[in-house]
Structure 1
Amino acid sequence: MKFLCTGADLLEATSRGFEIDGNKLFAVRRAGQAYVYLNRCPHRGVGLEWQPDQFLDPSNSLIQCATHGALFLIEDGECVAGPCAGQSLTAIDCREDAQGLWVDV
């Protein structure tokens, strides 16, 4: 497991991008739970963010791909709207402890 960030670095209803060992990842916190995904849209293989650390739609309730507007559920990465509907983001195993978030990449 590799250290990603402290818990305080990922606030509720926010997202952040990271790069670990050449892997581009992003993390989202919702209802106190952290979710980590590979930063790669299943539609075109592009990064999802429209600005650094901006992976969420305007309501902060869905992950949104900046390129074609695909929308993904935060909880499991499933695409619910857009050109890759039915596909999913690649989830990264993560755990959180007193030090912060750890990922298995």
Structure 2
Amino acid sequence: HYPATDIPQASRFLFQQKWVRMIVDCHAISVPVIQDDLLMHPLCLVGSTLRAPHGCHAQYMANMGSVASLVVAVMSMRLVRKVRGGRHSTRLWGLVVCHHMSARSIPYPLRYAC
């Protein structure tokens, strides 16, 4: 059990956008993404599953002896308005975190099922 403050706000935002996150190997060397100067808008990697882990998170995993992880966000849904046609709002309720002691990739169909 971890308090909400243990998960940085930026990470909570990313989990609200992309509910499944996988780190295949926290020791792997990350590859920089270079944006073409001709692009009118900055490149957005919010929807990317395979982003490099933040340095402190990779160190945290290494300290636990973990190399790979799969994290699934648990979202709670609530009705914003109770009038007809009300919309639902979701918020991050928790995380299911799975660790492995060696590099491990979960196939897309299994991640999609989450």
- Which has the higher Rg, Structure 1 or Structure 2? 2
Higher helix share: 2
Give the alignment's TM-score, normalised by structure 1. 0.28
Higher strand share: 1
